[in-house]
Amino acid sequence: MKKPISLLTVCVLGFALLGCKSWFYHEVPHEVFIESDPPGSPIEINDEYVGKTPITVKIMGGHNGAFSDSRETHTIRANPVGGNQFVQTKQFSGPRQDLIPKHLYFNLRIGPVAPATKSDVNVKMDIKKEDVKKDGD
């Protein structure tokens, strides 16, 4: 005598074979409008050229709007188009941490920030005993 396969058994087997990602998390395209000043900047997403600004690109992400692939960092870079301009980079954490922006703006005329050097942070502090207040003073 054959026993019919129950619906519960079929569901459990299907879930085990297909995995939870396909059931609970699916990727959808998110449009990102990228512009720069001046326009015409070559744009790279994760080191891949995608076009020149202004441009609308599609980035795959979760239905919640977060980056979804396994990269630790997602990088969007705008490259200079002329003299006296600088590379601009925006980084986002992933997977499923930072949300995919709807709009990005790059100002290529903003230069890099100079890191502090040892001579810049040389601070001398002279504290005298009479300058130190005691509790209750």
What confidence tens digit (pLDDT) does each residue in 92-120 have? 887 767 889 999 999 999 988 777 666 55
Domains defined for the chain, CATH in brackets:
22-109 (2.60.40)
pLDDT tens for each residue of 26-48: 788 999 999 999 999 999 999 99
Is the pTM higher than 0.75? Answer: no
Of 83, 93, 90, 78, the C-alpha closest to 36 is 78
Contact yes or no for 51/43 (Cβ under 8 A) = yes
N residues, the chain: 137
